[in-house]
Structure 1
Amino acid sequence: MATKLFYLDDSGTVDTGFIVYGWLEIDIIHWAPALRCWLDFRKKLYSDVRIPADFEIHSTHFINGRDKPSLDPAWNRSKANRGQAAQEALGAAAAMPGTRFGAAYRRTTKTGPAYGAERTVVYEATLRHLDQQLAQDDDHGIIVMDGDGSDPSYQREHRKLKLATRRIVEDPWFSGSDTNQPVQVADLLAYTAYQTVLKHPGKTFMWQWWDQQLPMATLLEV
């Protein structure tokens, strides 16, 4: 029996109709070496392209050319540089020991508040998938979600799980991606999964990242 940490973040927009939740799963006994592996990558990234280790890699901004991640202005002006760094980040995540990866997604035509309600449905499906996976493995898990906890829908979905049989313990723990490195990894996973299923013509370079970098990862339509 093991305890798993699931770091979750979301992606997708109402304009495309996609809703995606990506997760990084870490066996708690491997938490320190997994984090060390990622921090070594961040150290190398600073050495190679001058992106400080405490700079938040927020995929939507980073890959699309927003912000100024590098201390080298010339590097910042190249979207190709950013795409290469993001792909290297995904490879570094894949090398983290004791980890598994996954994403769940749905495409909807709903808009406005109905789209928000659909996001809750997708989170519920993601939560139940992870809970069932833990039950099959005879493990328990804790979810660490990007955010500040101001959206009560996440807690409500956790409390719908049957207490006698649930393997996800507690409500979700919230931590902002700006200060939490594993949550930044989850953000990268969610955005990569999003681009995998969206197949935006301007992001063809990302279409195969999921299959190439994370061949054993789960990509689940719910």
Structure 2
Amino acid sequence: MHLCYIDDSGDSKHGVTLTAIIIHEDHWSGVLAAWLVGRRNIHSAFGVGKKQELHANHLYKGRKEYCDTPAQQAKFGQSPRDATGRMMLAALAKHPGFTVVTVGTSDRSKSKAYARFVAWLEDWAAKESTHLMLFYDGQQGLDYPDSNPDEARQADLWETAIRDAKPYREAHRGLDIDTRLIVEDVIMQDSRYSQLIQAADLIAYGAYHLHRQEHPEIWGTGDVTVSAAIVAYKKLSNHWVDGSDKGIIWLD
């Protein structure tokens, strides 16, 4: 059995990329421990809170406060932000027990792109003689950390989570139950509460910007690529899935 943590990146005009960290069940704790080493490193170096959500778009574009104290935050400019991404993925890369893959498509609908990704993962699982359980970044019915929602808010959060996950559940339920290698429905994991979804987010962002840089015929030239995210992503080169273009597979 492999556990698969997924996040998306891309733009609203040209397509979607979906990135997965695929971890054998025997290596799950070790991979998480490697990521947490990175968390300790950036806390020691910059004061980035150990429980602070790492979100690539915010991190690299100078948004959101990350540090424990105002003094540390004042020093947390672009250079330490870029270093944070590199340090996190360098720490993760030291563990051998996972594979990274990004699948891209010109489908602008995330749910359609996800269904195609599920089909690709089924083929991968067949080659590896394994099964997969999928975790995808999304609402799971929880409010912000340390909040105390009333009953009405809790009900609304839960209904939103169920509704938003529907097209992704359908991609799983469309598989042949007698032969499918992806078990259960997709499990939505809010990145605020999942370290490995945050890892998938950082990886997805770097993979997308690398592909955007190398394929302007697909993505256009209107937006600037984030070179620091690409540098961080390349720390994982030994983990890129076999048969890919730098960890990326374009389906169209």
* CA deviation profile, 1:140-178 (whole Å, cap 9, x unmatched): 110011112423110011111111111100011111000
Q: How many Å separate the matches in 2 of 1:73 and 1:41? A: 19
Q: How many Å separate the matches in 1 of 2:3 and 2:236? A: 21
Match of 1:61 among 58, 62, 66: 58
Q: 1:73: which partner in 2?
A: 73
- Whether the 8 Å CA contact 2:165–2:188 is kept in 1: the answer is no
Q: How many Å separate the matches in 2 of 1:208 and 1:184? A: 17
Q: Give the 3-state SS of the residue equivalent to 2:193 in structure 1.
A: coil
Q: Give the 3-state SS of the residue equivalent to 1:81 in structure 2.
A: helix
Q: How many Å separate the matches in 1 of 2:237 and 2:191? A: 22
Q: 1:112: which partner in 2?
A: none
Shift of 1:211: 4.1
Q: How many Å separate the matches in 2 of 1:104 and 1:202? A: 19
Structure 1 stretch displaced more, 161-170 or 85-94? 85-94
Q: Give the 3-state SS of the residue equivalent to 1:102 in structure 2.
A: strand
Structure 1 stretch displaced more, 190-199 or 90-99? 90-99
Q: 1:6: which partner in 2?
A: 4
Asked if 1:173 is matched to 2:226, the reply is no
Asked if 1:140 is matched to 2:131, the reply is yes
- Whether the 8 Å CA contact 1:141–1:169 is kept in 2: the answer is yes
Evaluate the alpha carbon distance shift between residue 187 and residue 127 of structure 1 in structure 2; reply closer, same or farther with a 3 A threshold: same
Which runs of structure 2 are paired with 1:2-151 in the superposition (5 Å)? 3-15=1-13, 17-71=14-68, 72-76=72-76, 78-107=77-106, 115-116=108-109, 119-148=110-139, 149=161, 150-151=164-165
| Runs of 4+, deviation exceeding 4 Å | none
Match of 1:183 among 197, 200, 204: 197
Asked if 1:196 is matched to 2:198, the reply is no
Shift of 1:207: 3.9
Q: How many Å separate the matches in 2 of 1:75 and 1:100? A: 34
Q: How many Å separate the matches in 1 of 2:235 and 2:32? A: 22
What TM-score does the superposition give when structure 1 sets the normalisation length?
A: 0.88
Q: 1:220: which partner in 2?
A: 249
Shift of 1:30: 1.0
Q: Give the 3-state SS of the residue equivalent to 1:178 in structure 2.
A: helix
Q: How many Å separate the matches in 1 of 2:239 and 2:29? A: 22
The code of the aligned residue for 2:248 comes to L
Shift of 1:213: 3.4
Q: Give the 3-state SS of the residue equivalent to 2:192 in structure 1.
A: coil
Give the alignment's Cα RMSD to 1 decimal.
1.7
Q: How many Å separate the matches in 1 of 2:207 and 2:225? A: 15
Q: Which runs of 5+ in 2 are unaligned?
A: 140-160, 214-222, 241-246
* CA deviation profile, 1:40-74 (whole Å, cap 9, x unmatched): 21112111110011000010111110001123122
The code of the aligned residue for 2:198 comes to Q
Q: How many Å separate the matches in 2 of 1:49 and 1:28? A: 32
Q: Percent of pairs identical after alignment?
A: 25
Q: 1:164: which partner in 2?
A: 178
- Whether the 8 Å CA contact 2:18–2:103 is kept in 1: the answer is yes
Q: How many Å separate the matches in 1 of 2:26 and 2:235? A: 27
Structure 1 stretch displaced more, 52-61 or 40-49? 40-49
Shift of 1:134: 0.8
Q: How many Å separate the matches in 2 of 1:206 and 1:175? A: 23
Q: Which runs of 5+ in 1 are unaligned?
A: 109-114
The code of the aligned residue for 1:13 comes to D
- Whether the 8 Å CA contact 1:6–1:25 is kept in 2: the answer is yes
Q: How many Å separate the matches in 2 of 1:162 and 1:38? A: 35
The code of the aligned residue for 2:37 comes to D
Q: How many Å separate the matches in 2 of 1:204 and 1:41? A: 20
Q: How many Å separate the matches in 1 of 2:127 and 2:225? A: 40
